[in-house]
Structure 1
């Protein structure tokens, strides 16, 4: 549901200014809750409900538009035409391109979080590099099975998203925090070198991982069968040589 007036999270009943406490970590944002706008509720004002099937069609079309064109060049007219909606119908549910972007981002973040099992940092203690490799391969499988997964990743790396966008910046910050805590476990387990300050090590690792991810996502359509998996194996090798103990 999407409504005019003040929206509240349907997952934890907190206001938009307060981050959702019960949604999956990757899905927390000012539009909190993993399900997108059809889960938003409004207290004391009219509810506006977009049918679930219509919302899924709109979300899939919008994420492709944002991923391909970028935020600034994305065209609401193209999205509306592709979905067979009228402008009046679209603006009944959404006030702006920014609101559509936020709703789509929150919806996909929740969908992906619900379908992707992310290990806890402590899980890496027994077999740090083995688990890292298996987790990266799970990401490859997800990317090969669902184009939305790839397009969502491309949305995360758009350079023209308005500065400080709560959904994108919040999710990237949580991923960075997860990586830092995972590296800390690796250091204490002897699987990650300790001769570099932990803060500097984390910044270097995050920068390298983001470059790999951004390049792979932008060039996914040009990669042949098995090439993405091979690239991920190479990525793991680079990280192991860079971070592993000498």
Structure 2
């Protein structure tokens, strides 16, 4: 935790600058001097506010998750229950993909979850955020299976692991590439990603042995 809180506008500037530095260069190669210079502040001021590079990184991840929660209405898993399960899920995934297509600072922060040099074991903030996402997904799939909107021919733990891996891949690609496409193509790609999830999870999807 930072020793002191900077003024709101200064704090936002530091977090946005740090996020882009971490996302582009990774934790190890990100330069505090670059961040400090870009923010037009002294080293003493930085250390007064954040104390260390590690503390700054943890703050970036924590604040990005809070900002995502403010920007996107993420339903509690129990709210998905019933015949509108896929409508709720489609809205959520669409909003997440739209967020990935924007070059906002908290979308940039999402890239940190896919950095090969970063391990959740070395970052309490990443570990907590990843566990929170996985717990939400596990519960959402359980609700979907119970209300008949998600296939149940696989063990639930295997299904959850597969879906989590696919979602990570989609998220990673979207964060790094979706903004490169015009709006019309982004919508088409988003629909294709949603279609993939639906085919994976919806009951009645054809298996190879049934074709």
Q: Please state which band the TM-score falls in when normalised by the shorter chain.
A: 0.7 to 0.9
**1:67-146 paired onto structure 2 within 5 Å:** 67-126=23-82, 127-144=84-101
Structure 1 length normalisation: TM-score? 0.76
Rounded Cα–Cα distance in structure 2 between residues aligned with 1:209 and 1:163: 17
Answer yes or no: is 1:172 the counterpart of 2:130: yes
Q: Tell me the CA shift for residue 189 of structure 1.
A: 1.1
1:70-97 Cα deviation digits (max 9, x unpaired): 1111111111111011122212223321
Correspondence for 2:116: 159
Matched-pair contact (CA < 8 Å) for 2:85–2:144:
yes
Correspondence for 1:27: none
Matched-pair contact (CA < 8 Å) for 1:63–1:151:
yes
Matched-pair contact (CA < 8 Å) for 2:67–2:106:
no
Which sections of structure 1, spanning at least 5 residues, go unmatched? 4-47
Matched-pair contact (CA < 8 Å) for 1:140–1:229:
no
Matched-pair contact (CA < 8 Å) for 1:216–1:228:
no
Which sections of structure 2, spanning at least 5 residues, go unmatched? 205-211
Distance 1:121 1:234, change over 3 A: same
Aligned residue pairs total 202
Matched-pair contact (CA < 8 Å) for 2:81–2:144:
yes
Task: From 179, 183, 196, give the equivalent of 1:225.
Answer: 183
Structure 2 length normalisation: TM-score? 0.88
Matched-pair contact (CA < 8 Å) for 1:61–1:79:
yes
Rounded Cα–Cα distance in structure 2 between residues aligned with 1:139 and 1:244: 20
- Report which structure shows greater RCO (CA 8 Å, sep ≥6): 2
CA RMSD in angstroms, aligned pairs only: 1.8
Matched-pair contact (CA < 8 Å) for 1:125–1:189:
yes
